[in-house]
Amino acid sequence: MRLSMDLELQDIPGQLMQSLEPFKKYKGNIISVVHHRDRKTPRGTVPVQIVFEIDPSNIENIKRHLEENGIVVVRAGEDRFIEEISVLLIGHVLHSDLGDTINRIDSTGFAEVEDLSLRMPGIEEPSSAYLRIRATGKEEIGKSLSILRHVGAEKDLLVIEPIEAEKI
Amino acid sequence: MKEVRISLVGFGVVGHGVLEVVRRKWEALRSLGLDMKVVSVSDINGTLFDETGIDPQRLHAAKTLEGIANLDIIGKEAIQEVDSDLVVEVTPTNIVHGQPGLGHIEEALSSGKHVVTSNKGPLVVAFNHLRGVAQENGVMLKYEATVGGTMPLISLIEKNLVGNEILGIRGIFNGTCNYILTRMMEEKYTYSYALTEAQDLGIAEADPAYDVDGIDTAGKVVILANSIFGMSARYEDVSVTGIRDITPEALNLAWERGYHIKLIGEVPSLTVKPMLVPRRSPLAVGGTLNVASIETDLSGTITVTGLGAGSIETASAIVSDIVSIYTSRQVDG
């Protein structure tokens, strides 16, 4: 099972290596380690995000091991959604069944609408919605966008995608 | 000193600009070894011809050649009759059939004259054909001013980035749309209010469809596709969405989340549509600026920005093209 953990390390040598030790001990397969040295917390610790695959029964052991070594575990849990994208919709967003629009993404199983903001300037005027979609990978982000394009065409909504979604 | 006899076909905003830039840069052009003479100017009223070179100041205040023309020939006939080395084609653009510019450019190239143009229509309709005619006749067709105005894009790719494979180009190619979207975001204007402001300032035409519906941007996308990517794209191949449906609320919502909304043209995907552009992206330029990011295999991504329109700006791109024809020929021997 793929999980992720947010840690806070002291900014002293050897901390990162020490934080990885329990993953070896409990047979975790590390997918990625992101060490945010440039984004220190107010109390001077360094945030680290580790994504790994492991038998979920071992997660508590890892947490305990880390905490015994003075490493702060901020969050640990399932993290299937590793990619995200912002999309804007313009048109009769609400009256074209916004619930359905969101559900088309959520029902895929590989992506979810995680954040939603609406602007409704007047009853007959077009409204705007900002959606942040998270998905299990880049390909799934692409699939979510194509679902939204399809929904946009069907419901007469203008779908505005970000330029970073795909290479030129 | 190389004498360059130029026929100017089209006497509108850009045509006036060309005369002005040639006048202002007379000394600089001579120091490059070029004695540029505009020997004829044509519009629908006729042709003004002077083999010793027309004094640009003589035409400065004239809106058209009515009452000034001394030859009763226009268009292709004028191109044929006047003894010149190079034709600057700056007649009004038509993206559907390309005329009258298409006929003018064909005529000039087949009579062995170089052509420099800011006219998109002929290139959108018949780029590959015109390039073929130029090659057959051993002359050059230059068109930097058709895409991004004064912003060096085509020459940047053809000269400075030579050897790179161009993987994609993405950018803002219409200053009118960029101006409208910028004002809508900054002042929370509605689309129609921002449009009327742009019209009052002369940034947008009375009939804005060509700009705001993305037609102009799509034409530029076609030119880039055919000239840089060797495609045989037509206008109909471009998927186009304009900016009429953008609301100030949408722009505001995007801004709060770290984005601008810009009308973006992309090649080789052949799309023109409003897109979210991160606020810190080099593509996030405002006002009437144009911008293009060129993605290459060796040099990474290179971004250029500059004024996309305007009489003098467009004319500067035209004069640069003229200079490059003669300076690169000197290298060739």
Q: Find the CATH number of the domain harbouring A87.
A: 3.30.70.2690
Distance CA B276, CA B256 (A): 12
Residue B183: the pLDDT is 97
Same domain? For B300 and B323 the reply is no
Quote the pLDDT of residue B331: 41
Instruction: Identify how many contiguous H helices and E strands chain A contains and give both numbers.
Output: 4, 8
- Cβ atoms of B297 and B161 within 8 Å: the answer is no
Do B78 and B9 contact (CB within 8 A), yes or no?
yes
Boundary (domain end) residue, out of A32, A61, A78:
A78
Could you tell me if B170 and B235 lie in one domain? yes
Q: Which tokens sit at B123?
A: 């290139």
**Pairwise CA distance, residues A125 & A112, whole Å:** 28
Q: Is the CB of residue B82 less than 8 Å from the CB of residue B40?
A: yes
The residue with tokens 């959604």 is A81
In whole angstroms, give the CA distance from residue A109 to residue A99: 16
Please name the member of B247, B261, B293 whose beta carbon is closest to the beta carbon of A126.
Answer: B247
Q: Does B249 touch chain A (CB under 8 A)?
A: yes
Bridge partners (DSSP) of residue B6 are: B38, B86
% chain B with pLDDT above 90: 89
Strands B239-240 and B259-267: unpaired
Residue A99 and residue A141 in one domain: yes
Tell me: do A52 and A125 sit in the same domain: no
Q: Phi and psi dihedrals of B133, rounded to 5?
A: -60, -40
Q: Please tell me if residue B184 touches chain A, with a CB cutoff of 8 Å.
A: no
Helix axes B120-136, B215-228, angle to 10 degrees: 20
Q: Examine the domain organization and report whether B17 and B131 are in the same domain.
A: yes
Domain boundary among A49, A78, A107: A78
Q: B268 preceded by cis ω (within 30°)?
A: yes
Query: Is a pLDDT exceeding 80 seen at residue B313?
Result: yes
Q: What angle do CA B157, A163, A79 make, to 5 degrees?
A: 135
How distant, in Å, are the alpha carbons of A146, A168, B48, B62 from that of A119? Answer: 24, 30, 59, 51
Q: How many domains does chain A have?
A: 2
Q: Are residues B315 and B296 in the same domain?
A: no
DSSP-derived pairing of the beta strands B86-89 and B114-117: parallel
Do residues A116 and A134 share a domain? yes
Based on the fold, state whether residues A59 and A34 are members of the same structural domain. yes
- For B255, which residue in chain A has the nearest alpha carbon? A130
Residue A90 has pLDDT above 70, yes or no: yes
**Which uninterrupted H or E stretch holds B31?**
helix B26-31
- Here the ipTM equals 0.85
Active site residue B220: yes
- Report the interhelical angle of A138-155 vs A98-106 (nearest 10°): 150
Q: At residue A113, does pLDDT exceed 90?
A: yes
Q: Are residues A97 and A140 in the same domain?
A: yes
CA distances from B54 to B5, B6, B58, B326 (A): 11, 10, 8, 21
**Residue B333's pLDDT is what?**
40
Q: Which of B58, B122, B62 is nearest to B91 (CA)?
A: B122
CB environment A57-75: b (16+ within 10 A), e (fewer) = ebbeebbebbeeeebeeee
Closest CA to B153 of B328, B298, B293: B293
Strands (DSSP E) found in chain B: 2-9, 34-43, 46-49, 86-89, 114-117, 141-142, 166-172, 239-240, 259-267, 271-278, 289-296, 301-307
The mean pLDDT of chain B is 94
Q: Are B291 and B127 in contact (CB under 8 A)?
A: no
Q: How many CB atoms lie within 10 A of CB A13?
A: 7
Number of other residues whose CB lies within 10 A of the CB of residue A139: 11
A96 with A30, same domain: the answer is: no
Q: What is the mean pLDDT of chain A?
A: 89
Together in a domain, A91 and A141: yes
**B271 torsion bin: left (phi>0), alpha (psi -120 to 50), beta (else):** beta
Contacts of A148 in chain B (CB under 8 A): none
User: Tell me, what DSSP letter sits at residue A81?
Assistant: -
Please list every residue in chain A whose beta carbon sits closer than 8 Å to the beta carbon of residue B253.
88, 117, 119, 128-130
- Tell me which of B94 and A124 has the higher pLDDT: B94
Contacts of B259 in chain A (CB under 8 A): 86, 88, 162
**Sequence-ordered list of residues with C-beta below 8 angstroms from that of B240, at least 6 positions apart, any chain:** B213, B214, B215, B217, B218, B271, B272, B273
pLDDT of residue A167: 54
Which residues constitute the domain of residue A129? Answer: 83-165
pLDDT at A150: 96
- For residues B163 and B250, membership in a common domain is answered with yes
What is the pLDDT confidence band of residue B57, given thresholds at 50, 70 and 90? Answer: confident
Does B332 score more than 70 pLDDT? no
- Quote the CA–CA distance of A165 and B74 in Å, as a whole number: 50
Q: Which helix (H) or strand (E) holds B214?
A: none
- Higher per-residue confidence, B120 vs B310: B120
**Min distance B276 CA to chain A CA atoms (Å):** 4
For chain B, the domain total comes to: 2
Are A91 and A74 found together in one domain? no
State whether A50 and A93 are in the same domain. no
Instruction: Say if residue B65 is in the same domain as residue B102.
Output: yes
Asked if pLDDT for residue B26 goes beyond 70, the answer is yes
> Is residue B293 domain-shared with residue B322, that is, in the same domain?
no
Instruction: Using a CB–CB cutoff of 8 Å, tell me whether B278 touches chain A.
Output: yes
What tens digit of pLDDT does each residue of A121-164 get?
888 889 999 999 999 888 889 999 999 999 999 999 999 999 97
CATH code: domain of residue A30? 3.30.70.260
Do residue B194 and residue B164 come from a single domain? yes
Strands (E), B127-270: 141-142, 166-172, 239-240, 259-267
- pLDDT of B51 above 90: yes
Query: What's B199's domain CATH number?
Result: 3.30.360.10
Q: What is the rounded average pLDDT of the residues B25-50?
A: 95
Same domain for B243 and B271?
yes
Tell me whether strands B259-267 and A83-91 are parallel, antiparallel or unpaired. unpaired
Which member of B113, B220, B262, B273 is catalytic?
B220
| CB–CB contact A117 B256 (8 Å) | yes
Q: Give the pLDDT confidence of B181-207 residue by residue, as tens digits.
A: 999 999 999 999 999 999 999 888 888
Using H for helix, E for strand and C for coil, what is the string for B125-163?
A: HHHHHHHHHHHHCCCCEECHHHCCCCCCCHHHHHHHCCC
> Does residue B281 share a domain with residue B210?
yes
- Indicate if B293 and B315 belong to the same structural domain: no
Contact A127, A91 (CB under 8 A): yes
Shortest CB distance from B249 goes to which of A128, A132, A167? A128
Residues of the domain holding B282: 158-307
Q: Cβ of A158 and B254 within 8 Å?
A: no
Token pair recorded at residue B224:
């880039």
Is B152 a residue whose pLDDT tops 50?
Answer: yes
Answer yes or no: do B234 and B316 share one domain. Answer: no
Is A94 an interface residue toward B (CB < 8 Å)? no
The last residue of one of the domains, among A24, A58, A78, is A78
